[in-house]
Amino acid sequence: MSTRTLLDGGDLDLISDGDGEDSRCHWDESVCTETPTHYLLYPAGEGTEALTYCARHHGLTLAVLLELHLPRCHGSVEDHIVGFGALSDASGAGRDH
């Protein structure tokens, strides 16, 4: 009886149900199974939302935003992203360069 309701909201539940939700790369152009080592901090309503990415897609996402999206967008960088970096910063892993 509730098949349609399950289909409407079921997919999201399945995806976010696992405890690995926060430990996957959130690159959404393709499936990525790399271990996330970086994060991007997005404006979300009144707060922020941090999504994790592998190092490559962290850089790619930033590049796409800065090189492709922003030139066509009326918003500023801060409208799109409020922070980024490596997840290991807190452990003193140092800089990439």
Minimum CB distance to Zn ion smaller for 22 or for 34: 34
Minimum CB distance to Zn ion smaller for 4 or for 74: 74
- Of 25-84, binders to Zn ion (CB under 5 A) are 25, 27, 32, 34, 54, 57, 73, 75
CB of 41 to Zn ion, least distance (A): 16
What is the full DSSP assignment across the chain?
--HHHHHHHHHHHHHHHSTTGGGS----SS---SPP-EEEEEEETTEEEEEEE-HHHHHHHHHIIIIIIGGG-SS-HHHH-SEEEEGGGGGT-----
How far is 88 from 71, CA to CA, in rounded Å? 31
Minimum CB distance to Zn ion smaller for 51 or for 54: 54
10 binds Zn ion (CB under 5 A): no
Minimum CB distance to Zn ion smaller for 8 or for 34: 34
Interface residue list for Zn ion (CB under 5 A): 25, 27, 32, 34, 54, 57, 73, 75
